[in-house]
Amino acid sequence: MVNQKQHEIWLFRHGQTTWSLTGQHTGRTDLPLTEAGKQQAESLGRYLAGRKFDLVLSSPLARAAETSGWRDMARSPGLPTI
């Protein structure tokens, strides 16, 4: 029997912005996170602490980068960033 590695895909949405509060579509508008959004990002960070990822893909917009912490992850040796 061939030993196959199981792959997982994890998806996360950015934390709250002022426009997400009002139901507006942000699209490519680079809005910052609200204080609640920052708390959501910190909570996600605690949840993911210690987990290893082979690849992290994130939007370059500030709200996504802050939520995902990809700027910090990009400093991890051997982790490709795209």
Domain boundaries, the chain: 34-82
pLDDT in tens, 39-69: 998 898 888 888 888 887 888 888 888 887 7
Tell me the pLDDT tens digit for each residue of 15-27.
899 988 888 887 7
**CB-CB neighbours of 68 under 10 Å:** 21
Alpha-helical (H) ranges within 1-82 are 18-22, 35-48, 62-68, 70-73
Please state the pTM of the whole predicted model: 0.72
Q: Supply angle C-alpha 25, 81, 48, rounded to 5.
A: 70
Q: What is the pLDDT of residue 17?
A: 92
